Structure 1
Amino acid sequence: MPQQEVSLRDRTGQAHHQQAAASPGFANFLPPATIPVLPNCNTPATSTLPTTKTRKSPSIHCAEAHTQKQNLKEIPRPATPEAAVIEPTHDTTRSVSIATRLIFASLLPCLLLPPFLPVSSADDHARLIELQTDNTTYVGRLLKRSGDHVWLMDPLGSLFQLNVRQVSAFKVVADRFQPATPDEQIRSLQKELLDGYEVTSTQHYVVAAPIGNAQQFAKTLEQLYQEVYACCQNLGLSPQHPEMPLKAIIFFNEQHFQRCCRTDQMAWSADLTGYYSIRSNRISVLAASSPLTSTANDGNQISVRPQQPSHVSQMVQTTLIHEACHQIGFNSGIHSRISHGPKWLVEGLAMHLESDNVRRGKSGRLLSPADTANPERLHWFQTEYLPRQQPGDLARLITSDEHFARAPFDAYSLAWAFTWFLCSSESPELPRKLADFVRLTAKQPGPGAGSATQRLETFQRTLGDPDLLETQLLRFIDSLNLHVETQP
């Protein structure tokens, strides 16, 4: 879904190209090549990774990114359709023969690439490598390979999915991958942003915002991180601290936000208020001209108008919370930036964590399910979804993400309600099964959650019969006798 602006070269830039000796193996099959030094800007990978995004309605957090990619200073570059695999071009002027390319492509995954390395591993000794395609040079750590595809993460945390058949050269740059330091992350953002922004950092964040606002947003995000991390521990999800700072950009200018959307290949629209990008691993939020406030989070606002500053502030905070929950989940091992996982789970957990009571609890007493309900989601579930609910809706949500496109309001409310039900069970069995399911989906062998049959089998093996759980969910909500009234 959702990215800090990235540099496709290593933090030391040209020095790496000068110091790196050509790696043995396939480098010997290839003619000498001049490795271009790229500017400090994004370059599109061969496949666009999804993003989560927030709009000014409950039908938020969709997972598509397919607009033309530019950096924040409007450096144009071609866009690549989502999930597209670019086949190698056949240039008769190339000195590398087709046979050599085929041999290289078939053996590269077996002989050159290290085994899977978890994103959150802070002390692994993976090498810093360089992969060259026809048009681009990528420098980073090899995270995973699956079939003809590999995933490379650069020192700034950006993720690139490449088809190995496109890789024409490689070399080992350093024996150990070193993530960018907070200072290097700050300098990277400063180079990308236009005038009028400041960048600050906390223990877990690097935050850019209009001058005079960065500290405030950074403090809010750091507190949010601590709350979400502790809550995930309590849910048995075994989170891990990220190996590099998480990045966030707050915009008060809509044109600047649009420019960032193009950089992250996010389809901008007038109702888009924020998103998390898996590719660049950062969150971007449009805060308009309203400062962040400390008001309590009541869930995503269904209708928000810019001329209502107090509502905008609350919506901005809710957007920030939701997208930060995605970012934390994808960087703590709860979700995988490569396999993504089923959408109902990714969105359900984020919406569950939107509730202040879920994250913070209430001093001096245990929380009841009523305390942890998300009012906006519950309101939609009761007043809009239930009148048209059909048996088997939960199974359809589990086996396919298409429900989020066909009936997004219903899909999001059902995903939240089911996650809330699993987390709120008085019996420890369902929360334990949910934690097992989360860990299982984070270890998927490749992108996507599998076929409908595979998704159903995984769910049944871990959580149980979806039809039975659907019945239990409806009884659970009915037994609470909760009726939510939204504010006008």
Structure 2
Amino acid sequence: MNFCLKLLIVLGILSQTSDVFAGEPMLLRLHLKQEPILTGKLLQMDSQRCWLMQPDGWMKTVPMKSISRVERTKKPFRADSAMTIRARLQRQYGRGYQVSTGRHYVVVGPPGRAHDYVELLDDVHSGFQNYFATRGFRINSPEFPLIAIVFTDPKAFADYCAQDGLRAVRGLRGYYSMKTNRVAIIDSEHSRVSDTKTRADQHGDLFATVAGNLRDTLVHEATHQVAFNTGLHARLGMNPRWVVEGLATVFEAPGILDRSTRHEVSRRINRERLIWFRNYLVERRPENSLEAFLQSDQLFQTATLDAYSQAWALSFYLIETRPVEYARYLQTVTKRASESKATSSQRVDDFREAFGQDLRLFEANFLRFMRRLSVN
């Protein structure tokens, strides 16, 4: 059977599956030529590839030419339970690691300490939910148990990074992968990794933290993970980098997750990001440059810390002053990312639609707000 005919048959079966069971995804089995059978639910497809969500939350990209047969089952797709994932991870990592579960997380970590990580990560999830609930945000519950892997051995961490196609930079502390839906962290003050750029810098499917302490890294990457699993960001698609990193840097502030200080703006300020943004504003930031920042992710490539500080500043300003509009904007951005890669003009148009057509007036108000914040 030639490839074109086979492709039409595979596309036809996948299309029927998508149409017939649109209300309740059904479990598919993809028989591949040179790999194990993959099971999961169909997310999306085109003539070249399809995207399959597996029961543990791992999103596989499958080339059409690698599929030998599609098997439609009569079983509905169900996410794996935390206990199922825990048992699988314990078998995979063995006695050198402990696997602990909490309300939302399954954590692989060093013996005797995994539960401590679970408690912190569950607090991030609860604080995230509470923070947005008090501001009128409606967010979904995660479909899958959230998984984090904490390494103490730099080599084991580097090997794990390599499996994700990541060549670690010196000082890399951890990252979240949209593909695997997992957070990986190195709990070591003596990590030895190379001075090369990460693949995340080029493709945007990994969100990495370089430098910083363990707690901040865990909170930052867990915020990515929770946001991508509660519908605030789209896992399948290209999200504006400033939206993703801005939200994560907002949650780095100590007071964000503390309910007792939720009414104190000073405790919600990310002091390090604010100081850097103030410096950027005075010394390097071009006038009326907000539109260029919205159009592309280029600043994250050319001046990473400037980009992170401005992403924090803009996100903090919107959450603090325009929470309802910000919630709608996130919904628009997520929908756009899921459907297609937004053009630079669409990015700006979406922002204007949410916050007003006059970007210069918006920028003036935004910068005035940031200058008035106290860094003490």
TM-score band (shorter)? 0.7 to 0.9
Alignment of 1:30-49 (within 5 A): none
| Structure 1 SS opposite 2:38 | strand
Higher fraction of helix: 2
**Alignment pair present for 1:138 and 2:31:** no
How far 1:349 sits from its partner (Å)? 0.8
Match of 2:330 among 433, 438, 442: 438
Alignment partners' CA distance in 2, 1:236 and 1:164:
42
Check the 8 A contact 2:110/2:152 in 1, yes or no.
yes
Alignment of 1:20-99 (within 5 A): 96-99=1-4
Check the 8 A contact 1:116/1:143 in 2, yes or no.
no
Alignment partners' CA distance in 2, 1:146 and 1:445:
16
Alignment of 1:118-157 (within 5 A): 125-136=24-35, 137-145=37-45, 149-157=49-57
Match of 1:424 among 320, 323, 328: 320
**Alignment pair present for 1:191 and 2:91:** yes
Check the 8 A contact 1:132/1:167 in 2, yes or no.
yes
What's the CA shift string for 1:310-358, capped at 9, x where partnerless?
xxxxx10000000000000011111111124211111111111121222
The amino acid that maps onto 1:254 is P
What's the CA shift string for 1:150-197, capped at 9, x where partnerless?
321111110012344554420113421122121210122123225410
The amino acid that maps onto 1:411 is A
**Alignment pair present for 1:213 and 2:113:** yes
Alignment of 1:283-298 (within 5 A): 283-288=183-188
Match of 2:224 among 313, 326, 340: 326
What's the CA shift string for 1:192-229, capped at 9, x where partnerless?
22541010101111011111111111111112211111
**Alignment pair present for 1:267 and 2:167:** yes
| Structure 1 SS opposite 2:173 | strand
Higher fraction of strand: 2
CA gap of 1:362–1:393, structure 2 versus 1, over 3 A, is: farther
How far 1:399 sits from its partner (Å)? 1.1
Calculate percent identity across the aligned residue pairs. 28
Alignment partners' CA distance in 1, 2:135 and 2:165:
34
| Structure 2 SS opposite 1:444 | helix
How far 1:116 sits from its partner (Å)? 9.8
CA gap of 1:418–1:194, structure 2 versus 1, over 3 A, is: same
What's the CA shift string for 1:93-150, capped at 9, x where partnerless?
xxx2134134336545543434897xxxxxx631100123443332101123467543
Alignment partners' CA distance in 2, 1:302 and 1:330:
20
Match of 1:393 among 283, 289, 302: 289
| Structure 1 SS opposite 2:255 | helix
What's the CA shift string for 1:269-325, capped at 9, x where partnerless?
3311000111111111111169xxxxxxxxx99966xxxxxxxxxx10000000000
How far 1:437 sits from its partner (Å)? 0.7
- 1:357 equivalent in structure 2: 255
- 1:367 equivalent in structure 2: 264
What's the CA shift string for 1:374-418, capped at 9, x where partnerless?
011001111244311112322112111122111111111111101
How far 1:239 sits from its partner (Å)? 1.4
The amino acid that maps onto 1:473 is F
How far 1:453 sits from its partner (Å)? 1.5
How many aligned positions are there?
357
Check the 8 A contact 2:10/2:70 in 1, yes or no.
no
**Alignment pair present for 1:411 and 2:316:** no
Structure ID, larger Rg = 1
CA gap of 1:97–1:397, structure 2 versus 1, over 3 A, is: same
- 2:18 equivalent in structure 1: 113
CA gap of 1:406–1:262, structure 2 versus 1, over 3 A, is: same
Check the 8 A contact 1:125/1:175 in 2, yes or no.
no
CA gap of 1:445–1:374, structure 2 versus 1, over 3 A, is: closer
| Structure 1 SS opposite 2:131 | helix
Match of 1:470 among 332, 344, 363: 363
Q: TM-score, normalised by structure 1?
A: 0.68
Check the 8 A contact 1:148/1:165 in 2, yes or no.
yes
- 2:146 equivalent in structure 1: 246
Higher relative contact order (CA 8 A, sep 6+): 1
- 1:104 equivalent in structure 2: 9
Match of 2:176 among 272, 276, 295: 276
Q: TM-score, normalised by structure 2?
A: 0.87
Check the 8 A contact 1:199/1:214 in 2, yes or no.
yes
| Runs of 5+ consecutive residues of structure 1 not aligned to the other structure | 1-95, 118-123, 291-299, 305-314
